[in-house]
Amino acid sequence: MDLERTLVLVKPDGVQRGLVGTIIGKFEATGMKIVGMKLMHVSDTLAQRHYAEHEGKPFYAGLVDYITSAPVVALCLEGPDAIAITRKLMGATNPSDAPPGTIRGDFGVEISRNLVHGSANEGDAAREVGLFFSDEELIDYPRSNDVWIASDEG
């Protein structure tokens, strides 16, 4: 079974509201493995690179200002279908559209304060993980439950 890696950011509102542990716990409960994690301030340069696809749009400056306003927790998660599972668990971008049980559905307040970011696809995941983590910061390690999560046996 192929494993994917994806970037998740617990955004400034998630950190400021004290939801980091709860949010990380929801991702870990799926069986995904944390292979990288750090608390950090996002620099203007990193924010601009991260949101480059939105440059020139009316909301671009607000995105950069917000993500640099307070610390974030950056995670690199690994697992089968990690990108799709992460996005499903986050819920719709607008918390009012996110179903109960999702991070945004349970804890989100408004679209501009929606707690988490997750890579949209494999290309974005590779680019974003590379922006936030060096190869040396990502750790490959076995877990005893990996055989129960990512087994090819039925």
Q: Catalytic positions, please?
A: 117
Q: Are 66 and 49 in contact (CB under 8 A)?
A: no
Q: Which helix (H) or strand (E) holds 82?
A: helix 82-90
- Taking the C-alpha atoms of residue 82 and residue 127, their distance in angstroms, rounded to an integer, is 15
Based on the number of CB atoms within 10 Å of its own CB, is 90 exposed (0-12), middle (13-18) or buried (19 or more)?
Answer: buried
End-to-end Cα distance, the chain: 12
Give me the residue label for tokens 């279908």. Answer: 81
